[in-house]
A and B are shown apart, each in its own frame.
Chain A
């Protein structure tokens, strides 16, 4: 069973299509242009723009995962999706956990905080 597929079978499993690349390209282009315009022309105050731009990046990542990397389009059992979701879990634990610890440390190291500590 551990044999290679024939070229035809391999080509058949490829999920890309001209339409998918066109959609991915146009949507990515629009999202990039939108975030560039928001920041470049200062359309929003910085505190709001951070969230808007992050949301646009997140959307673009999802679009590229679906249309360029074909996430979730493989045959069952979907090992690649499983690995992906596990990676997201590990990534969130590392990122949120570390940020929490580092900012907490930072706050405790502030000179003016010492008064409250004592």
Chain B
């Protein structure tokens, strides 16, 4: 279902609620957003395994954030909250931990509904056509993105070069990353030349085979996602 939404509209419809959530502390709202996101992912037929792979580290981070909120809470008193019509008293530190932990879950949910249901190429086309991203950035990002599959092997070669000379290093340490960055700069130069030799002019006009359209349901997606978040903020007050 979410796959047919225009990528730029989907991005806006995800970013605004995420921004609103970052300014309020509503445990219930965070949990609801997370729940709705998982539901939408299921409806959009995203594989459960893919979701679990992301959720595993997310839960670890959320647990870490809970402990941070729990241990370093400013308020050492008690907080009264209500559940199913009954008043329950929690230590303020637990509430503080839950506020930050559930927020992580909500952000992860929103991130997943965007990344798992959006084609990167279509997103860039849409940014160029709907949000007027200059083509030099749009195609620069695409070219860099398509170099992605080469990266692990390149990193492996660089780290092996250090090992072969008896050099100790930590994974992703600056020692290994410096030659890696130098290579990346050289790649970017080669790619820029190759793109230009194919007629790509960053300031020139170009035609477009894949036209990304904005239809009524794309606007509806933004209105509904933002509207529901606003309602949620007031409802969970």
* A and B together in one complex: no
Residues on B lying within 8 angstroms of A by beta carbon are: none
